[in-house]
Chains A and B, each alone.
Chain A
Amino acid sequence: MNLEGTLFELFGFKEFRPGQKEIITSLLENKDTIGVLPTGTGKSLCYQFVGNILDGHVLIVSPLLSLMQDQVEQMKAKGEKSVVAINSFLNHDQKNVVIHSLASYKFIFISPEMLQVEYIFKKLQHLNISLFVIDEAHCISQWGYDFRTDYLKLGEIRKQLQSPLTLALTATATTEVTKDIILTLAIQQAAIYETTVDRPNIAIKTEFYEDMKAKQLAVISHLKNLEGPGIIYFSSKKLAEQTVELLKLHGITKVMAYHGGMTHEDRILIQQQFLYGQVDYICATSAFGMGINKEDIRFVIHFHMPLQMESYLQEIGRAGRDGKQSIAILLYANGDESLALQLAEGELPSLSQLDWLTHEIDHSVVKENVTKILTEEIRHRGGFTEIQWRVTLDYIQSHFDQHGTLNTIMNKFKNFVCTRRNLKIKKIFEMVNFIKKTDCKRNAILNHFGEPDLAHKISNCCDHCGLNLNDFHPIKSKSEEVKDEMKDWVWKLTKLLTPIDKGE
């Protein structure tokens, strides 16, 4: 088969990106496959391509709702109509309609919790599933930074689906994580394809400041000097918003905040404004960027450190997709790790919360009723955050049938929480070590993901090897644009509803 020909026919591209062809070939040879491809290098093309060739359905498990929605919308936008997402965004009626007509969809995205719903799963068992895709497969691993207990069940689920051809995808995986994926999914013969995590066109810089205010000044100065567009990542919504205000006071106007607290409509608008160059800079929380295919992002600034190397790599990887010179700058102030530790802490319930919960719930409860007992009311009384509560529910539900009583499960859960907490703390200190490292930053990243040092030095590598900030300044000054607010609304409306090229 001429894969390039099919690629052009289906997607309009002339050549594959690194790793894609190998993964597709492996799947077409009917081999279970693990693909480690950095975000934004076209992971989804792999299963779309294979799905178009094989008969039957492609079932894609994806843990992040927003990411799933984005993927489905992008596939639809590119003309793939036979795609559907089953997740908690659907209301009861919509879900029924979708489930009823499931057989008519080629690509079925599903969240792990929907896989646990019996009547949905029964329906899936009756379909001919030719490819089973696990996106963000690192969530399977206890060693992964985003371990999800409901992902552990995927092995059992795969078996009950008659062990279809399987593709596990992730952006980053250490050796331990890969081992866990193979074991859990029972794909011992799997072929593993990894591309290097190195992105040679992204220069890596770390800057040290006294405190938060000094970091804000640094952001102002960078935005005035660096070539845009760019993203500035924050750990706090409030600080992202405040910085936007501050930047505006300094005459940087094409800047917007973006975070999970905004409405869906606002988030889409800002994303699209950024995509079409109406906005140059986004001050965002990590919620931003997952679904965005913007090629020409010139810089990514981290106002706060990410909680682990994996996130850092994914976030800086949003720069320079067009292959042109770009830069990633991380701003560090002494004590920043305490905020990171605090955030990590908030993702898991505390031991005293769990003791309280153990005391509070009825121990004679049977599996079927356990979700009825763990109500929102209990969540509030125990002071669980949403994310803490999700972890708790997931764990109790997925471990209930295995061994005995609720008591033993709660004890196990406490051990689990301790292990997870230690792992998260370890990851934060790995991040701090990376920031403070005085050797080549690029090699540090490569080594972290099990790759050797670079063979040849590159220019504008990192602050240790040397980089020239002037190379990241714009060549020509930005031209003045016509002020939009000077136009009247009839003109604006007419522009929306008449062809753009008319009369040109």
Chain B
Amino acid sequence: MNQHLFSKIMNVLVGEKRVETYLSCLILSCLQKINGERTTYSIYHLLKGKKSSQTIQDAHLFNMTNLFQTFPQLSRNFFEEIIRDLNSKNYIQIVDVDKYKITTRGMAHLEQTLIKMPIPGALNGWKYHSIQEDFWKRLTLLIQVCSNLINYNSSYIPIQNDNKTSDWVKEILIKLSKKREELSNELLQEVINCLNTKDEIMPEVVVWRLTGHKQIGLTSVQVAELFKMDMNYFHLHFLSTIHYMIDRISASRNQYPILQNLLIDYQKPIVLTNSSLVTYRYLQLGYNIDEIASARNLKNSTIEDHIVEIALNETDFSLEPFVPIEVEHKIRVVIQKLNSKQLKMIRQELKENISYFQIRLVQARLGEPI
């Protein structure tokens, strides 16, 4: 090979981390949603899945709960690099420190990308982030075990090596106590039924990763290459398909006598952070904000954060002790009129002695339901 061709190939390799990926488009779509009203780091925390009140509230407020904890490995440096790249391409423009708005050019780019590669519809990071890993580990090991059972092979390396997952499989096999052929056949039917749908999912991204007897699954990188998908886009499709399965199984457990066991010990995501949960208990005991703050040795503002989080998560939670009904009504009208999420603007418009806390509570009610 001549030197010229060689350096051409090496140039391809130099850009080790490609900044221009689906992830950057995803971040652009988040920037569009928050519209300069939050810093870029709110997006970083969302994708990382930080369980702080602020992140959780923002996720609901700006309708981005589906993306919660979809990129837990994302590094701050790489995230900042993406933001710089978007800026240098004039897709976004700065409006304040760490705050950006999407430009017309950015909007066009975003729309174009999303038409080709829409965000997978079944994605639900907020609801399923706590179960997705267990679900996947159990599914892969169960299928590997069944595949080896029907081939009467007991000598293989399990694809998952943690005791938690292998204990789970042992328990399930005992609990189901079916003949091996029966078990595999029924499992096959259930998985096909669960994935067989006209909905926008790609069963391939999950199925090609599964391992069986003498058929070893592919790694995520390999599947993405096989189907010529952007790595990040593959990742979202993979999560989305897993979330889709969980959704279907939990919606009609009786139809999935085997697969429903994958959801054992999972009822509902841990909706409230621990600290907010404690505050909630105090509220239920009749304490007010000041009393909770002094009992817990925390600032009033922290307790208020907790209450906003509770309002977001508990649809039955009454705002009345904090916001009188007529005040709530006024705030709603202003929020709808301004169509903004910026507290300062809303408060100015209200021209009354209404606190930020009260506005945030009403916002919480208007946000995306859990």
Question: Which residues from chain A sit less than 8 Å from chain B, CB to CB?
Answer: 69, 73-74, 77-79, 94, 213, 217, 220, 238, 242, 245-246, 249, 256, 264-266, 268-273, 275-276, 278, 484-485, 489-490, 492-501
Contacts and interface: CB of A to CB of B under 8 A. Distances in A.
Task: Label chain A's interface by main secondary structure.
Answer: helix
Contact of A497 (B6, B150, B214): B150
A269 B157 CA distance: 10
Contacts of B49: none
A352 to B, nearest CB: 28
Given A79-B155, A246-B9, A493-B188, A499 B160 contact: no
Contacts of A246: 9-10, 13
Given A270-B219, A497-B188, 4 more contacts: A94-B163, A269-B216, A496-B215, A498-B184
B227 A485 contact: yes
B226 interface: yes
B169 to A, nearest CB: 14
- Which 3 A/B pairs are nearest by Cβ-Cβ distance? A496-B212, A497-B188, A489-B207
17 contacts: A69-B161, A73-B158, A220-B1, A242-B16, A246-B9, A265-B160, A269-B211, A276-B214, A276-B215, A276-B216, A278-B216, A492-B208, A493-B188, A493-B210, A495-B212, A497-B146, A498-B184
A500 B207 contact: no
Given A249-B9, A489-B204, A264 B187 contact: no
B156 A77 contact: yes
Contacts of B213: 500
Contact of A496 (B9, B143, B154): B143
Contacts of A276: 214-216
Contact of A238 (B16, B157, B161): B16
Contact of B13 (A74, A242, A498): A242
Nearest to B226: A485
B151 A499 contact: yes
Contacts of B16: 238, 242
A269 B144 CA distance: 12
Interface string B1-31: 1000010011011001000000000000000
A499 B150 contact: yes
Contacts of B208: 484, 489, 492
A429 B258 CA distance: 60
A77 B155 contact: yes
Contacts, number: 107
B150 A269 contact: no
Contacts of A495: 212, 215
A247 to B, nearest CB: 11
Contact of B207 (A73, A270, A493): A493
Contacts of B147: 496-497
A78 B146 contact: no
Sorting the interface of chain B by its residue count into under 10, 10 to 19, 20 to 34 or 35 or more gives: 35 or more
Interface string B356-368: 0000000000000
Interface in B107-162: 140, 143, 146-147, 150-151, 154-161
Interface in B279-297: none
Contacts of A77: 154-157
B195 interface: yes
Nearest to A488: B204
B153 to A, nearest CB: 9
Given A94-B163, A245-B12, A493-B192, A268 B157 contact: yes
A484 B211 CA distance: 14
Interface of B: 1, 6, 9-10, 12-13, 16, 140, 143, 146-147, 150-151, 154-161, 163, 184-185, 187-188, 191-192, 195-196, 203-204, 207-208, 210-222, 226-227
A264 B226 CA distance: 21
A74 B9 contact: no
B154 A79 contact: yes
A485 B205 CA distance: 11
B194 to A, nearest CB: 11
A493 to B, nearest CB: 5
Contacts of B226: 484-485
Contacts of A273: 216, 218
A213 B204 CA distance: 37
Contacts of A272: 157, 159, 211, 216
B301 to A, nearest CB: 30
Nearest to A496: B212
A47 B217 CA distance: 34
Nearest to B164: A94
Nearest to B147: A496
Nearest to B155: A77
A215 B343 CA distance: 61
Nearest to A241: B16
A266 B158 contact: no
Contacts of B146: 497
B216 A493 contact: no
Contacts of A213: 6, 10
Nearest to B159: A268
Given A73-B157, A490-B192, A497 B184 contact: yes
Contacts of B222: 256
A261 to B, nearest CB: 11
B203 A489 contact: yes
A498 B150 contact: yes
B211 A217 contact: no
A265 B159 contact: yes
A24 B227 CA distance: 52
Contacts of B154: 77, 79
A289 B305 CA distance: 52
A149 to B, nearest CB: 29
B219 A269 contact: yes
Nearest to A246: B9
